[in-house]
């Protein structure tokens, strides 16, 4: 009878067999053939994984064959490795009618989403969650040197300050590979760590985003703040006991932008609304000067067991959108999304067995895409144009790019969206520049600088890659020119991920926490 040990040994032998043949393998099809042959030779019931082969290679071979063996390339095609971690269960003092509550996950999650499952396996410990995720990335051939950290669940900054500090410090320590004595030391260490946080996202509520509260998040290293706006209808917000109105969302949006951070909205079509009203809501998001988010996560309202909405649904007093209607509404809404906004998600990552009614299929984005194609509509959002993701399906010529400029007003300030685009309209790189008047004069800052394409190691260059080709440097130079010559700014602030501070120092910037600052 075969033992577990025998099986593990056969997997190793098969993986080594493939490793010996890699010199003659040039594409994924040939690699799959080699894995199939080796698995059959050693009597394995299933084909070995790329990660198994990687584990049996030496350091030099791993570097040589990393791209060939890398799985789930889409995870790093936007230029970073995303690490999502979750707060402890509950983590929110509010009781919204639609929100699931569980003792195995933070508020608004069920405990069965991928990030929640990882959090449970790691006792909701931030250090363990990050360490585990980095290990997973390496196992599938990724080099997570540039990481975007997302802290999910509940309302983070409603937690006691000591918990906030401890949770954030644990994450930094994991990226750094060692424990610092203080959070401040951990942040400084990450500036030159092997795994750097180039972006840090917090989720919170509009009524927890005052100027002081936003500044506290920036001092943790935040570069993006996602606001649970949910609806632009005060009546609907009252009905679901949200606890804030549209006015708070408007104020929070301005506070985040004036701190020179990125702002994302979570929106819930179908929340005591109609299809026409929801399409109008998407139009309002960008026609209203006091909104205009940089990013959107669209979460069609779901009916979850154990919520007040579930009780209303059982009584026939509420009916959510299902896939077909949700796709139609979102597709119609996407027509209004401008080139400066990125639609990050169009559905929740919740398993269908935890949903009583609503969108249960996890490929709603495909439904939306088909709806748009059938109607001849084109989405111009960042995600639909970014060069990294486009490279999976088409050749992206980084040698034929032009800089473009889009000016608009938002939240009482002037926004300038600079971008490098290819002739086919693929987005290679972009920068968000903001200026607004304060009591001390014009304030000017870069809220985001991003270069797309497959992640390239810090300090390295790859001939066919989009990163490290000076696109970012050229955008920053143009932003500095505009700030000085057109906006009469005396200095330029940059909200930089902690792990990117060294880059800005090389461009003449100095740290004035939480920003990098340069005199013009």
Tens digit of pLDDT for each residue in 225-252?
A: 999 999 999 999 999 999 999 999 999 9
- Output the pLDDT for position 138: 82
Helix then strand then coil, in percent of the chain rounded to 5, is 40, 20, 40
Assigned token pair, 73: 């390339």
pLDDT at 78: 59
- Give pLDDT, residue 90: 74
Ranked by mean pLDDT, which of 38-42, 439-443, 463-467, 488-492 comes out on top?
A: 488-492
pLDDT at 95 over 60: yes
Position 72 pLDDT exceeds 70: no
pLDDT of residue 61: 63
Give the pLDDT score at 240: 97
- Residue carrying structure tokens 């983590």: 91
Q: What are the φ/ψ torsions at residue 39 (nearest 5 degrees)?
A: -65, -40
- Segments making up each domain of the chain, as ranges: 4-69, 73-204, 234-260+269-385, 393-519
Could you give the CA distance from residue 234 to residue 71 in angstroms, rounded to a whole number? 45
For residue 512, give both structure tokens: 């004035």
What residues have CB less than 8 Å from 128, skipping those under 6 apart?
Answer: 122, 174
- Name the DSSP class of 102: B
332: tokens are 């119609």
Read off the pTM.
Answer: 0.85
Of 473, 464, 467, the residue nearest 455 (C-alpha): 467
pLDDT value, residue 245: 98
Rounded to whole angstroms, the Cα distance separating 14 from 154 reads 45
Query: Would you give the distance in Å from CA 268 to the centre of its chain?
Result: 18
Please state, in angstroms and rounded to a whole number, the distance separating the CA atoms of residues 514 and 500. Answer: 13
Give the tens place of pLDDT for each residue, 362-377. Answer: 889 999 999 999 999 9
**pLDDT in the model for residue 416:** 99
* pLDDT tens digits, one per residue of 26-35: 666 777 788 8
**What does the pLDDT read at residue 393?**
47
Given its phi and psi angles, is residue 72 left (phi above 0), alpha (psi -120 to 50 degrees) or beta? left
Task: Tell me what percent of the residues of the chain surpass a pLDDT of 90.
Answer: 68
Give tens-digit pLDDT for 410-446. 999 999 999 999 999 999 999 999 999 998 899 999 9
Rounded to whole angstroms, the Cα distance separating 369 from 115 reads: 26
pLDDT band at 495 (very low <50, low <70, confident <90, very high): very high
Between the two ends of the chain, the Cα-to-Cα distance in Å is: 75
User: Quick one: pLDDT band at residue 5, thresholds 50, 70, 90?
Assistant: very low
Average pLDDT, the chain: 89
- The CA distance from 362 to 343, in Å, is 16
Dist CA 395 CA 296 (whole Å): 27
Domain 393-519: assigned CATH number: 3.40.630.30
Task: Give 185's Cβ-side CA count (13 Å radius).
Answer: 6
In this structure, what token pair is assigned to residue 335? 């027509």
Q: What percent of the chain has pLDDT over 70?
A: 87
Q: Where are the beta strands (DSSP E) in 106-192?
A: 146-152
The answer to whether the Cα torsion of 452, 453, 454, 458 is positive or negative is: negative
Pairwise CA distance, residues 169 & 200, whole Å: 13
């Amino acid at each position: 009878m075969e033992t577990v040990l025998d099986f593990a040994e056969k997997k190793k032998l098969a993986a080594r067999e493939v490793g010996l043949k890699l010199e003659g393998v040039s594409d994924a099809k040939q690699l799959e053939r080699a894995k199939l042959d080796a698995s059959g030779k050693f009597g394995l019931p299933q084909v070995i994984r790329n990660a198994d082969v990687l584990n049996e290679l030496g350091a030099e071979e791993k570097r040589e064959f990393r791209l060939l063996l890398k799985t789930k390339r889409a995870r790093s095609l936007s230029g970073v490795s995303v690490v999502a971690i979750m707060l402890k269960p509950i983590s929110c003092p509010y009781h919204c009618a639609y929100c699931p509550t569980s003792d195995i996950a933070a508020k608004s999650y069920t405990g069965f989403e991928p990030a929640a499952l990882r959090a449970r396996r790691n006792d909701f410990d931030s250090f363990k969650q990050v360490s585990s995720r980095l290990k997973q990335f390496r196992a599938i051939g990724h080099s997570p040197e540039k990481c975007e950290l997302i802290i999910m669940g509940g309302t983070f900054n409603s937690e006691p300050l000591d918990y906030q500090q401890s949770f954030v410090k644990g994450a930094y320590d994991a990226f750094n590979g060692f424990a610092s004595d203080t959070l401040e030391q951990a942040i400084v260490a990450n500036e030159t760590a092997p795994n750097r946080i180039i972006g840090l996202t917090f989720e919170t509520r509009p009524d927890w985003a005052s100027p002081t509260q936003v500044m506290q998040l920036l001092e943790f290293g935040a570069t993006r703040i996602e606001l649970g706006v949910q609806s632009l209808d005060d009546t609907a917000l009252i009905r679901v006991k949200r606890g804030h109105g549209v006015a708070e969302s408007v104020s929070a949006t301005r506070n985040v932008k004036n701190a020179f951070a990125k702002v994302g909205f979570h929106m819930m079509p179908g929340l005591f609304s109609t299809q026409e009203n929801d399409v109008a809501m998407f139009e309002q998001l960008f026609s209203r000067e006091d909104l205009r988010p940089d990013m959107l996560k669209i979460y069609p309202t779901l009916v979850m067991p154990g919520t007040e909405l579930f009780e209303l649904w059982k009584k026939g007093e509420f009916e959510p959108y299902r896939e077909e209607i949700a796709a139609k509404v979102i597709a119609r809404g996407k027509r209004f999304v401008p080139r400066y906004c990125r639609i990050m998600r169009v559905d929740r990552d919740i398993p269908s067995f935890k949903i009583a009614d609503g969108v249960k299929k996890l490929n709603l984005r495909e439904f939306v895409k088909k709806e748009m194609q059938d109607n001849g509509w084109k989405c111009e959002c960042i995600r639909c144009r970014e060069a990294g993701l486009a490279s999976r399906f088409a050749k992206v010529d980084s040698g034929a790019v032009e800089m473009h400029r889009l000016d608009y007003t938002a939240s009482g300030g002037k926004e300038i969206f600079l971008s490098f685009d290819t002739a086919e309209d693929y987005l290679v790189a972009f920068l968000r520049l903001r200026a607004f008047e304060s009591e001390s004069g014009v304030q000017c800052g870069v809220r985001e600088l991003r270069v797309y394409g497959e992640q390239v190691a810090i300090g390295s260059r790859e001939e066919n890659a989009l990163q490290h080709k000076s696109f970012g440097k050229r955008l920053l130079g143009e932003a500095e020119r505009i700030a000085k010559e057109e906006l009469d700014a005396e200095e330029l602030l940059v909200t930089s991920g902690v792990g990117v501070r060294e880059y800005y120092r090389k461009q003449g910037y100095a740290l004035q926490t939480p920003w990098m600052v340069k005199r013009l």
